Structure 1
Amino acid sequence: MAHSNAPTTLPSIEFINTQATLQDVASAVTLLFEPAPPIVKHLYSKRPYASYSALIDETSHLLTHVDQFLTEQEQLDVINAHPRIGAAKANLSALSLIEQGYTPEDAAKKVDATATPSQDDEVTQATLKRLNQEYEDKYGFKFVVFVNGRPRSVIIPVMEDRIQNSTKEEEKKTALRDMVLIARDRLKKLNVA
Protein backbone atom coordinates (compact mmCIF):
# COMPACT_ATOMS: atom_id res chain seq x y z
CA MET A 1 0.00 0.00 0.00
CA ALA A 2 1.49 3.37 -1.03
CA HIS A 3 2.12 5.99 1.59
CA SER A 4 2.92 9.01 -0.58
CA ASN A 5 0.91 11.36 1.67
CA ALA A 6 2.29 9.95 4.91
CA PRO A 7 4.27 12.40 7.04
CA THR A 8 8.00 11.93 7.50
CA THR A 9 8.16 13.73 10.86
CA LEU A 10 6.34 13.14 14.11
CA PRO A 11 4.32 15.82 15.90
CA SER A 12 5.31 16.54 19.49
CA ILE A 13 4.22 14.00 22.05
CA GLU A 14 2.45 16.86 23.83
CA PHE A 15 0.30 17.35 20.73
CA ILE A 16 -0.45 13.61 20.58
CA ASN A 17 -1.44 13.68 24.26
CA THR A 18 -3.62 16.79 24.30
CA GLN A 19 -4.81 17.87 20.85
CA ALA A 20 -4.48 14.96 18.46
CA THR A 21 -7.48 13.47 16.76
CA LEU A 22 -7.66 9.75 16.10
CA GLN A 23 -6.42 10.52 12.56
CA ASP A 24 -3.41 12.47 13.94
CA VAL A 25 -2.48 9.50 16.10
CA ALA A 26 -2.96 7.21 13.10
CA SER A 27 -0.52 9.32 11.06
CA ALA A 28 2.12 9.12 13.79
CA VAL A 29 1.61 5.40 14.33
CA THR A 30 1.80 4.79 10.57
CA LEU A 31 5.22 6.41 10.46
CA LEU A 32 6.46 4.09 13.20
CA PHE A 33 4.47 0.89 12.59
CA GLU A 34 2.84 1.21 9.13
CA PRO A 35 -0.97 1.63 8.96
CA ALA A 36 -2.39 -0.50 11.76
CA PRO A 37 -5.84 0.66 12.96
CA PRO A 38 -6.03 -1.86 15.84
CA ILE A 39 -2.83 -0.39 17.29
CA VAL A 40 -4.06 3.17 16.73
CA LYS A 41 -7.32 2.63 18.62
CA HIS A 42 -5.48 1.10 21.55
CA LEU A 43 -2.81 3.82 21.72
CA TYR A 44 -5.35 6.61 21.37
CA SER A 45 -7.31 5.27 24.33
CA LYS A 46 -4.18 4.92 26.53
CA ARG A 47 -2.92 8.53 26.26
CA PRO A 48 -1.01 10.39 27.70
CA TYR A 49 2.55 9.23 27.03
CA ALA A 50 5.72 10.66 28.54
CA SER A 51 7.49 10.21 25.19
CA TYR A 52 7.30 8.37 21.89
CA SER A 53 9.48 5.71 23.52
CA ALA A 54 6.70 5.23 26.08
CA LEU A 55 4.16 5.00 23.24
CA ILE A 56 6.26 2.23 21.67
CA ASP A 57 6.55 0.56 25.09
CA GLU A 58 2.73 0.51 25.29
CA THR A 59 2.60 -0.98 21.79
CA SER A 60 5.13 -3.60 22.84
CA HIS A 61 2.90 -4.49 25.80
CA LEU A 62 -0.10 -4.72 23.47
CA LEU A 63 1.72 -6.94 20.99
CA THR A 64 3.32 -9.12 23.67
CA HIS A 65 -0.12 -9.80 25.18
CA VAL A 66 -1.88 -9.64 21.84
CA ASP A 67 -4.43 -12.37 22.58
CA GLN A 68 -5.80 -10.27 25.46
CA PHE A 69 -6.31 -7.17 23.33
CA LEU A 70 -6.81 -8.07 19.66
CA THR A 71 -8.88 -10.59 17.74
CA GLU A 72 -7.10 -13.03 15.45
CA GLN A 73 -8.14 -10.92 12.44
CA GLU A 74 -6.84 -7.72 14.06
CA GLN A 75 -3.52 -9.45 14.75
CA LEU A 76 -3.27 -10.42 11.09
CA ASP A 77 -4.23 -6.89 10.02
CA VAL A 78 -1.38 -5.49 12.13
CA ILE A 79 1.17 -7.92 10.70
CA ASN A 80 -0.09 -7.48 7.12
CA ALA A 81 0.21 -3.69 7.41
CA HIS A 82 3.94 -4.16 6.91
CA PRO A 83 5.25 -4.14 3.34
CA ARG A 84 6.70 -7.30 1.85
CA ILE A 85 10.46 -7.41 1.85
CA GLY A 86 11.43 -6.65 -1.72
CA ALA A 87 8.08 -4.93 -2.46
CA ALA A 88 7.81 -2.45 -5.32
CA LYS A 89 9.16 0.96 -4.32
CA ALA A 90 5.88 2.69 -5.09
CA ASN A 91 4.29 0.68 -2.27
CA LEU A 92 6.86 1.57 0.39
CA SER A 93 7.10 4.48 2.79
CA ALA A 94 10.32 6.54 2.71
CA LEU A 95 11.57 4.80 5.86
CA SER A 96 10.72 1.33 4.49
CA LEU A 97 12.66 2.11 1.32
CA ILE A 98 15.82 2.84 3.27
CA GLU A 99 15.27 -0.16 5.57
CA GLN A 100 14.95 -2.41 2.53
CA GLY A 101 18.30 -1.35 1.08
CA TYR A 102 17.49 1.59 -1.14
CA THR A 103 19.72 4.62 -0.83
CA PRO A 104 18.32 7.82 0.74
CA GLU A 105 18.52 9.33 -2.76
CA ASP A 106 16.33 6.54 -4.15
CA ALA A 107 13.93 7.03 -1.24
CA ALA A 108 13.71 10.75 -1.99
CA LYS A 109 12.77 10.00 -5.60
CA LYS A 110 10.71 6.91 -4.86
CA VAL A 111 8.32 7.65 -7.70
CA ASP A 112 11.19 7.00 -10.14
CA ALA A 113 10.60 3.37 -11.07
CA THR A 114 14.05 3.11 -12.66
CA ALA A 115 16.01 3.50 -9.41
CA THR A 116 17.59 0.27 -8.27
CA PRO A 117 18.20 -0.97 -4.75
CA SER A 118 21.75 -0.84 -3.46
CA GLN A 119 23.45 -4.19 -2.76
CA ASP A 120 20.74 -6.07 -4.59
CA ASP A 121 20.02 -7.62 -7.95
CA GLU A 122 17.29 -9.22 -10.02
CA VAL A 123 18.02 -12.72 -8.67
CA THR A 124 17.56 -11.47 -5.11
CA GLN A 125 14.30 -9.77 -6.09
CA ALA A 126 12.95 -12.90 -7.75
CA THR A 127 13.99 -15.06 -4.79
CA LEU A 128 12.35 -12.70 -2.29
CA LYS A 129 9.16 -12.68 -4.33
CA ARG A 130 9.08 -16.49 -4.37
CA LEU A 131 9.88 -16.77 -0.65
CA ASN A 132 7.27 -14.17 0.28
CA GLN A 133 4.68 -16.29 -1.52
CA GLU A 134 5.86 -19.52 0.13
CA TYR A 135 5.80 -17.87 3.54
CA GLU A 136 2.32 -16.41 3.07
CA ASP A 137 1.01 -19.72 1.72
CA LYS A 138 2.35 -21.54 4.79
CA TYR A 139 1.49 -19.05 7.55
CA GLY A 140 -1.32 -16.92 6.15
CA PHE A 141 0.34 -13.53 6.73
CA LYS A 142 3.31 -11.47 5.55
CA PHE A 143 6.91 -12.12 6.54
CA VAL A 144 8.18 -9.40 8.89
CA VAL A 145 11.80 -9.05 9.93
CA PHE A 146 13.86 -6.28 11.49
CA VAL A 147 16.31 -5.84 8.62
CA ASN A 148 18.54 -3.51 10.66
CA GLY A 149 20.57 -2.31 7.68
CA ARG A 150 21.34 -5.77 6.30
CA PRO A 151 21.24 -6.19 2.52
CA ARG A 152 18.12 -7.96 1.31
CA SER A 153 20.23 -10.83 -0.01
CA VAL A 154 21.19 -11.63 3.61
CA ILE A 155 17.49 -11.93 4.52
CA ILE A 156 16.97 -14.82 2.07
CA PRO A 157 18.47 -17.51 4.34
CA VAL A 158 16.52 -16.05 7.28
CA MET A 159 13.28 -16.43 5.30
CA GLU A 160 14.20 -19.93 4.17
CA ASP A 161 14.96 -21.00 7.74
CA ARG A 162 11.74 -19.55 9.11
CA ILE A 163 9.69 -21.21 6.36
CA GLN A 164 11.29 -24.60 7.07
CA ASN A 165 11.68 -24.53 10.85
CA SER A 166 8.96 -22.47 12.46
CA THR A 167 5.29 -22.59 13.38
CA LYS A 168 2.46 -20.14 12.75
CA GLU A 169 2.38 -19.08 16.43
CA GLU A 170 6.17 -18.60 16.57
CA GLU A 171 6.03 -16.55 13.38
CA LYS A 172 3.23 -14.33 14.69
CA LYS A 173 5.26 -13.64 17.85
CA THR A 174 8.40 -12.96 15.82
CA ALA A 175 6.59 -10.63 13.42
CA LEU A 176 4.99 -8.63 16.24
CA ARG A 177 8.28 -8.44 18.18
CA ASP A 178 10.18 -7.31 15.10
CA MET A 179 7.57 -4.64 14.37
CA VAL A 180 8.42 -3.10 17.75
CA LEU A 181 12.15 -3.28 16.96
CA ILE A 182 11.49 -1.59 13.62
CA ALA A 183 9.48 1.16 15.31
CA ARG A 184 12.24 1.77 17.88
CA ASP A 185 14.79 2.00 15.07
CA ARG A 186 12.60 4.40 13.11
CA LEU A 187 12.15 6.58 16.18
CA LYS A 188 15.92 6.68 16.66
CA LYS A 189 16.42 7.63 13.00
CA LEU A 190 13.86 10.42 13.39
CA ASN A 191 15.87 11.70 16.39
CA VAL A 192 12.82 11.70 18.65
CA ALA A 193 12.81 10.46 22.24
Structure 2
Amino acid sequence: MNDKLPPLSGIFGVPSHKDSALGKALAILFEPSPTLISRLEPQLALLQQSPSSYSELIDTALATITGWDTSAQSDFIAGHPRIGESKNLSNLSAKEQSGTGISPTPPEVLARLAHLNACYEAKYPGLRYITFVNGRPRHAIAEELEDLLGFNHSLLADEPALIGIESMDITGDLWRGELRRAIEDIGLIAKSRLVALGVE
Protein backbone atom coordinates (compact mmCIF):
# COMPACT_ATOMS: atom_id res chain seq x y z
CA MET A 1 0.00 0.00 0.00
CA ASN A 2 1.21 3.52 -0.84
CA ASP A 3 1.68 5.39 2.46
CA LYS A 4 1.08 8.82 0.97
CA LEU A 5 -2.04 10.48 2.36
CA PRO A 6 -4.23 12.27 -0.20
CA PRO A 7 -4.95 15.99 0.21
CA LEU A 8 -7.61 16.30 2.90
CA SER A 9 -9.66 18.73 0.84
CA GLY A 10 -10.40 16.12 -1.83
CA ILE A 11 -11.62 13.19 0.24
CA PHE A 12 -15.01 14.44 1.44
CA GLY A 13 -18.19 15.22 -0.42
CA VAL A 14 -17.92 12.17 -2.69
CA PRO A 15 -20.08 9.05 -2.58
CA SER A 16 -18.81 6.32 -0.29
CA HIS A 17 -17.16 3.35 -2.01
CA LYS A 18 -14.56 0.76 -1.08
CA ASP A 19 -11.73 2.38 -3.06
CA SER A 20 -12.44 5.96 -2.01
CA ALA A 21 -9.63 8.35 -1.12
CA LEU A 22 -11.15 8.61 2.37
CA GLY A 23 -11.06 4.83 2.76
CA LYS A 24 -7.41 4.73 1.64
CA ALA A 25 -6.49 7.50 4.08
CA LEU A 26 -8.23 5.69 6.95
CA ALA A 27 -6.44 2.45 6.05
CA ILE A 28 -3.07 4.21 6.26
CA LEU A 29 -3.90 5.78 9.61
CA PHE A 30 -5.73 2.88 11.25
CA GLU A 31 -4.75 -0.24 9.25
CA PRO A 32 -7.06 -1.73 6.61
CA SER A 33 -9.94 -3.85 7.89
CA PRO A 34 -13.41 -4.88 6.73
CA THR A 35 -15.03 -2.82 9.53
CA LEU A 36 -13.09 0.27 8.53
CA ILE A 37 -14.34 0.01 4.94
CA SER A 38 -17.90 -1.18 5.63
CA ARG A 39 -18.69 1.01 8.62
CA LEU A 40 -16.24 3.81 9.43
CA GLU A 41 -15.64 5.14 5.92
CA PRO A 42 -19.36 5.43 5.06
CA GLN A 43 -20.12 7.20 8.35
CA LEU A 44 -17.30 9.71 7.94
CA ALA A 45 -18.20 10.29 4.28
CA LEU A 46 -21.55 11.64 5.51
CA LEU A 47 -20.04 14.30 7.78
CA GLN A 48 -21.79 17.65 7.45
CA GLN A 49 -18.54 19.52 8.07
CA SER A 50 -15.19 18.22 6.83
CA PRO A 51 -12.34 18.06 9.38
CA SER A 52 -9.79 20.83 8.94
CA SER A 53 -6.77 18.58 9.54
CA TYR A 54 -5.85 14.91 9.59
CA SER A 55 -5.44 15.16 13.36
CA GLU A 56 -9.06 16.34 13.59
CA LEU A 57 -10.11 13.50 11.27
CA ILE A 58 -8.50 11.01 13.67
CA ASP A 59 -10.36 12.56 16.62
CA THR A 60 -13.63 12.45 14.68
CA ALA A 61 -13.03 8.83 13.67
CA LEU A 62 -12.32 7.81 17.28
CA ALA A 63 -15.47 9.57 18.51
CA THR A 64 -17.45 7.73 15.83
CA ILE A 65 -15.91 4.35 16.74
CA THR A 66 -16.62 4.78 20.47
CA GLY A 67 -20.29 5.24 19.57
CA TRP A 68 -20.46 1.77 18.02
CA ASP A 69 -21.55 -1.36 19.87
CA THR A 70 -18.70 -3.27 21.52
CA SER A 71 -18.71 -6.01 18.88
CA ALA A 72 -18.02 -3.51 16.08
CA GLN A 73 -15.37 -1.79 18.20
CA SER A 74 -13.55 -5.08 18.80
CA ASP A 75 -13.77 -5.87 15.07
CA PHE A 76 -12.09 -2.53 14.39
CA ILE A 77 -9.31 -3.30 16.89
CA ALA A 78 -8.71 -6.67 15.19
CA GLY A 79 -7.61 -4.76 12.07
CA HIS A 80 -4.32 -4.00 13.85
CA PRO A 81 -1.59 -6.67 13.80
CA ARG A 82 -0.60 -8.48 16.96
CA ILE A 83 2.54 -7.25 18.66
CA GLY A 84 5.46 -9.32 17.40
CA GLU A 85 3.83 -10.44 14.15
CA SER A 86 6.11 -10.19 11.15
CA LYS A 87 3.90 -11.30 8.27
CA ASN A 88 1.28 -9.31 6.36
CA LEU A 89 2.23 -6.04 8.05
CA SER A 90 1.65 -2.67 6.44
CA ASN A 91 4.82 -0.65 5.83
CA LEU A 92 3.99 1.62 8.77
CA SER A 93 3.25 -1.26 11.15
CA ALA A 94 6.50 -2.96 10.22
CA LYS A 95 8.46 0.24 10.96
CA GLU A 96 6.59 0.85 14.23
CA GLN A 97 7.06 -2.68 15.52
CA SER A 98 10.73 -2.91 14.60
CA GLY A 99 11.70 0.28 16.44
CA THR A 100 14.25 2.79 15.21
CA GLY A 101 17.88 1.75 15.50
CA ILE A 102 16.99 -1.34 17.53
CA SER A 103 18.69 -4.66 16.86
CA PRO A 104 16.55 -7.57 15.61
CA THR A 105 14.23 -9.11 18.19
CA PRO A 106 15.56 -12.43 19.57
CA PRO A 107 13.40 -15.44 18.66
CA GLU A 108 12.68 -16.20 22.33
CA VAL A 109 11.12 -12.73 22.74
CA LEU A 110 8.95 -13.27 19.64
CA ALA A 111 7.88 -16.68 21.00
CA ARG A 112 7.08 -15.11 24.37
CA LEU A 113 5.03 -12.38 22.69
CA ALA A 114 3.08 -14.97 20.69
CA HIS A 115 2.20 -16.76 23.94
CA LEU A 116 1.32 -13.51 25.72
CA ASN A 117 -0.94 -12.48 22.84
CA ALA A 118 -2.75 -15.82 23.09
CA CYS A 119 -3.09 -15.41 26.88
CA TYR A 120 -4.41 -11.87 26.47
CA GLU A 121 -6.97 -12.98 23.89
CA ALA A 122 -8.07 -15.82 26.19
CA LYS A 123 -8.47 -13.39 29.10
CA TYR A 124 -10.14 -10.65 27.02
CA PRO A 125 -12.26 -12.59 24.51
CA GLY A 126 -12.88 -10.65 21.33
CA LEU A 127 -9.99 -8.21 21.92
CA ARG A 128 -6.46 -8.00 20.56
CA TYR A 129 -3.66 -6.43 22.56
CA ILE A 130 -2.89 -2.98 21.18
CA THR A 131 -0.29 -0.61 22.56
CA PHE A 132 1.42 2.51 21.31
CA VAL A 133 4.92 1.09 20.81
CA ASN A 134 6.53 4.51 20.33
CA GLY A 135 9.93 3.10 19.37
CA ARG A 136 10.21 0.72 22.33
CA PRO A 137 11.83 -2.71 21.77
CA ARG A 138 9.61 -5.77 21.76
CA HIS A 139 11.01 -7.12 25.02
CA ALA A 140 9.72 -3.96 26.75
CA ILE A 141 6.29 -4.57 25.24
CA ALA A 142 6.40 -8.18 26.46
CA GLU A 143 7.05 -6.92 29.99
CA GLU A 144 4.21 -4.40 29.68
CA LEU A 145 1.85 -7.17 28.60
CA GLU A 146 3.05 -9.45 31.41
CA ASP A 147 2.32 -6.67 33.91
CA LEU A 148 -1.17 -6.18 32.48
CA LEU A 149 -1.87 -9.90 32.74
CA GLY A 150 -0.33 -10.20 36.22
CA PHE A 151 2.43 -12.57 35.05
CA ASN A 152 6.03 -12.75 36.17
CA HIS A 153 8.57 -11.48 33.67
CA SER A 154 9.92 -14.47 31.76
CA LEU A 155 11.18 -15.64 28.40
CA LEU A 156 9.39 -18.99 28.61
CA ALA A 157 7.18 -19.45 25.57
CA ASP A 158 4.51 -21.54 27.29
CA GLU A 159 4.03 -20.25 30.83
CA PRO A 160 1.63 -19.83 32.39
CA ALA A 161 -0.44 -22.49 30.67
CA LEU A 162 -3.02 -21.07 28.34
CA ILE A 163 -5.63 -23.54 29.57
CA GLY A 164 -5.58 -21.93 33.03
CA ILE A 165 -6.47 -18.40 31.84
CA GLU A 166 -9.87 -17.26 33.09
CA SER A 167 -11.90 -15.18 30.62
CA MET A 168 -13.28 -11.77 31.51
CA ASP A 169 -16.97 -11.04 31.18
CA ILE A 170 -17.32 -8.97 28.01
CA THR A 171 -20.07 -6.92 29.66
CA GLY A 172 -17.89 -6.13 32.68
CA ASP A 173 -16.06 -2.92 33.49
CA LEU A 174 -12.56 -4.44 33.21
CA TRP A 175 -13.18 -5.78 29.70
CA ARG A 176 -14.80 -2.52 28.58
CA GLY A 177 -11.95 -0.52 30.10
CA GLU A 178 -9.44 -2.54 28.10
CA LEU A 179 -11.50 -1.96 24.96
CA ARG A 180 -11.40 1.81 25.57
CA ARG A 181 -7.67 1.74 26.27
CA ALA A 182 -6.99 -0.13 23.02
CA ILE A 183 -8.99 2.41 20.99
CA GLU A 184 -7.16 5.30 22.67
CA ASP A 185 -3.82 3.70 21.80
CA ILE A 186 -4.94 3.25 18.19
CA GLY A 187 -5.52 7.02 18.18
CA LEU A 188 -1.99 7.60 19.52
CA ILE A 189 -0.59 5.30 16.82
CA ALA A 190 -2.54 7.13 14.10
CA LYS A 191 -1.30 10.55 15.28
CA SER A 192 2.25 9.27 15.43
CA ARG A 193 1.84 8.12 11.83
CA LEU A 194 0.98 11.68 10.85
CA VAL A 195 4.30 12.81 12.31
CA ALA A 196 6.15 10.01 10.49
CA LEU A 197 4.46 11.03 7.23
CA GLY A 198 5.11 14.74 7.79
CA VAL A 199 1.40 15.58 7.79
CA GLU A 200 -0.52 17.84 10.19
**Alignment of structure 1 residues 27-38 onto 2, 5 Å:** 27-35=24-32, 36-37=36-37, 38=39
Match of 1:61 among 53, 60, 63: 63
Scaled by the length of structure 2, the TM-score of the pair is 0.78
Could you say which structure has the higher helix fraction?
1
Query: Who is 1:110 aligned against?
Result: none
Query: Who is 2:111 aligned against?
Result: 126
Match of 1:184 among 175, 191, 199: 191
RMSD: 2.2
**Alignment of structure 1 residues 154-193 onto 2, 5 Å:** 154-164=140-150, 167-193=174-200
Deviation of residue 21 (structure 1)?
A: 4.6
Deviation of residue 100 (structure 1)?
A: 0.3
The percentage of counterpart residues that share the same residue type is: 35
- 1:145, 1:178 within 8 Å by CA — same for their partners in 2? yes
Query: Who is 1:136 aligned against?
Result: 121
Letter in 2 for 1:149: G
**Alignment of structure 1 residues 17-32 onto 2, 5 Å:** 17-19=12-14, 21-22=16-17, 23-24=19-20, 25-32=22-29
**Which digits, 9 at most, give the CA deviation of each residue in 1:62-115, with x for residues without a partner?**
24xx2xx31222111111111000112x310000001001669xxxxxxxxxxx
Q: Give the Cα–Cα distance (whole angstroms) in 1 for the partners of residues 80 and 111 of structure 2.
A: 19
Letter in 2 for 1:57: D
Gaps of 5+ in 1: 1-5, 105-116
Q: Give the Cα–Cα distance (whole angstroms) in 1 for the partners of residues 84 and 15 of structure 2.
A: 34
Deviation of residue 119 (structure 1)?
A: 4.2
1:16 paired with 2:11, answer yes
3-state SS in 1 of match to 2:12: helix
Deviation of residue 20 (structure 1)?
A: 7.1
Match of 2:71 among 51, 63, 73: 73
Deviation of residue 7 (structure 1)?
A: 2.1
Match of 2:92 among 82, 92, 95: 95
Match of 1:84 among 71, 82, 85: 82
Match of 1:145 among 131, 137, 150: 131
Q: Give the Cα–Cα distance (whole angstroms) in 1 for the partners of residues 68 and 14 of structure 2.
A: 26
Return the index of the structure with the highest Cα Rg. Answer: 2
- 1:7, 1:27 within 8 Å by CA — same for their partners in 2? no
3-state SS in 2 of match to 1:91: coil
Scaled by the length of structure 1, the TM-score of the pair is 0.80
Q: Give the Cα–Cα distance (whole angstroms) in 2 for the partners of residues 34 and 44 of structure 1.
A: 18
Deviation of residue 16 (structure 1)?
A: 0.8
Gaps of 5+ in 2: 152-167, 169-173
